[in-house]
Amino acid sequence: MTTNEEAFDRARRVIPGGVNSPVRAYRSVGGAPRFLTSARGAYVTDVEGREYVDLVASWGPAILGHAHPEVVKAVQDAAGRGLSFGATTPAETELAELLIARLGGGTEAGGLVDEVRLVSTGTEATMTAIRLARGFTGRPLLIKFAGHYHGHSDGLLAEAGSGVATLALPASAGVPEPIAAQTLVLPYNDLDAVRTAFEAHPGDIAAVIVEAAAANMGVVAPLPGFNAGLTELAHEFGALVILDEVLTGFRVSAQGYWGLETSYTPDLVTFGKVIGGGMPLAALGGRREVMEHLAPVGPVYQAGTLSGNPLSVAAGLATLRLADGAVYDRLYHVSETLQREVSAALTAEGVAHTIQRAGNLFSVLFAEQPAVNYAQVQAQDAYRFGPFFHAMLEQGVALPPSVFEAWFVTAAHDDEAIERVVEALPMAARAAAQ
Ligand code: PLP
């Protein structure tokens, strides 16, 4: 039998860090990552044959649980008809229609989007949305918020400069300074900072990109009225709003986080994760006037060999058709039960914590007071998470391997899976207390 350590050693010889996406390397919690061989329902299995209750859910897509039989069958059927055509398919149109219908049936009807373009990753979706916003407005600059993640395109790997109106610095080697300097990085949940930035750069800001609810620094919900106020401000200064629902879309409600608020209309919206049901698929959508600036209708270029891939579209269609009210009820039930139990276990051990939540997304912040921005998230007792994580893992519960990640539940987390998590909590809370 191969152990996880052996699998990691072997991987590290041929793959940088042994992983194809950094968080998988367990750097922030230590130890060898679990090398997974299969997943079903609420569980994943590693190379050692150990089974874990999974609270990663492939970082969001698996709202129905892993390998849902009807989703797998849809993909198998599609595969039998050809893996990729590099041509238009009726199924792409069906998926676009389904997305638009779910999101309120077009902007004239009070809905969110009129048209969508399918791409393969969330990174591509946000990258394209930003290019489109620049092409539409003819302006160069972008506002993003500290701690928000929108994928790894150059202009988004930017860190705040010295003040809210100053241009950003590269957050990764390899990002040229002039590219990072096209971005302004502002504190989240601070509309005054947004106004200051707009006033300092009149006529130059093309768009504000914002996670519909931040969930890549742990969960940090927008304060009531923040998304609406942001949209109002951006429009006052002639800029677009790109609402990033890659993580929240079709997970926190049938209409994403926007569906929980609906008090504003962003100009562009990005989706990913759930809409591909676990296959590589993402999308950007918006009102027709903006979307028709995309090639081949308009002058903003975007393309993709595998865009609208038939297997991904089949998985997405099957997933969304199965995601009915009962699925969302279950996601909320599982999430709320776990929030309560995690908090009770930590309280019993006297560990200062706050459950941060947005819809059915949540994470544990090791601090007394809730956090509303990245600086506050960074100030927590993050060192408590590693021992907590490993105690859970030892007992067969796989959490996201970083305190700065959301916990993801699925509708396949039945009462037995919940019970297994609950039973593991006292020991993990004791580990966190030390
Ligand atoms: N936007 C958000 C809000 C995300 O959470 C992510 C990924 O986690 C992305 C964009 C990038 O998506 P992808 O990893 O598919 O490129």
Q: Is 188 a catalytic residue?
A: no
124 CA to middle of ligand 1, Å?
Answer: 9
pLDDT of residue 166: 83
Q: Where are the domains of the chain?
A: 4-64+324-433, 71-322
216 Cα to the center of ligand 1, angstroms = 9
**pLDDT value of residue 381:** 98
Assigned superfamily of 4-64+324-433? Aspartate Aminotransferase, domain 1 (3.90.1150.10)
Q: Please report the pLDDT score of residue 165 as a whole number.
A: 80
ipTM of the complex: 0.99
Dist. CA 366–CA 354, nearest whole Å? 6
- Ligand 1 centroid vs 244 CA: distance in angstroms? 9
**Catalytic hit among 26, 43, 52, 149:** 149
Per-residue pLDDT at 208: 98
pTM exceeds 0.90: yes
3-state secondary structure the chain: CCCHHHHHHHHHHHCHHHCCCHHHHCCCCCCCCCCEEEEEECEEEECCCCEEEECCHHHCCCCCCECCHHHHHHHHHHHHCCCCCCCCCHHHHHHHHHHHHHCCCCHHHCCCCCEEEEECCHHHHHHHHHHHHHHHHCCCEEEEECCCCCCCCHHHCEECCCCCCCCCEECCCCCCHHHHCCEEEECCCCHHHHHHHHHHCCCCEEEEEEECCECCCCCECCCCCHHHHHHHHHHHCCCEEEEECCCCCCCCCCCCCHHHHCCCCCCEEEECHHHHECECCEEEEECHHHHCCECCCCCECCCCCCCCCHHHHHHHHHHHHHCCHHHHHHHHHHHHHHHHHHHHHHHHCCCCCEEEEECCEEEEECCCCCCCCHHHHHCCCHHHHHHHHHHHHHCCEECCCCCCCCECCCCCCCHHHHHHHHHHHHHHHHHHHC
Task: Give CA–CA dist 71/91, Å, rounded.
Answer: 15
CA of 149 to the centre of ligand 1 (A): 7
Give 62's contacts (C-beta < 8 A, 6+ positions apart): 39, 277, 278, 408, 410, 412
Nearest residue (CA) to ligand 1, atom 10: 150
Which of 21, 59, 145, 149, when mutated, tests ligand 1's pocket best, judged by the most ligand atoms within 8 Å of its CB?
Answer: 149
Q: What CA dihedral angle connects 142, 146, 150 and 155, to 10 degrees?
A: 40
Q: Which of 46, 114, 244, 267 is catalytic?
A: 244
Residue 269's pLDDT is 98
pLDDT at res. 163: 79
- pLDDT tens for the chain, 434 residues long, are 899 999 999 999 999 999 999 999 999 999 999 999 999 999 999 999 999 999 999 999 999 999 999 999 999 999 999 999 999 999 999 999 999 999 999 999 999 999 999 999 999 999 999 999 999 999 999 999 999 999 999 999 999 887 778 889 999 999 999 999 999 999 999 999 999 999 999 999 999 999 999 999 999 999 999 999 999 999 999 999 999 999 999 999 999 999 999 999 999 999 999 999 999 999 999 999 999 999 999 999 999 999 999 999 999 999 999 999 999 999 999 999 999 999 999 999 999 999 999 999 999 999 999 999 999 999 999 999 999 999 999 999 999 999 999 999 999 999 999 999 999 999 999 999 99
* Fold exhibited by the domain 71-322: Aspartate Aminotransferase; domain 2 (3.40.640)
Which residue among 127, 154, 216, 405 has the greatest number of ligand 1 atoms within 8 angstroms of its CB, and so is best to mutate?
216
* Catalytic residue list contains 273: yes
List residues near ligand 1 (CB under 6 A).
Answer: 59, 121-123, 126, 149-151, 211, 216, 244, 246-247, 272, 282
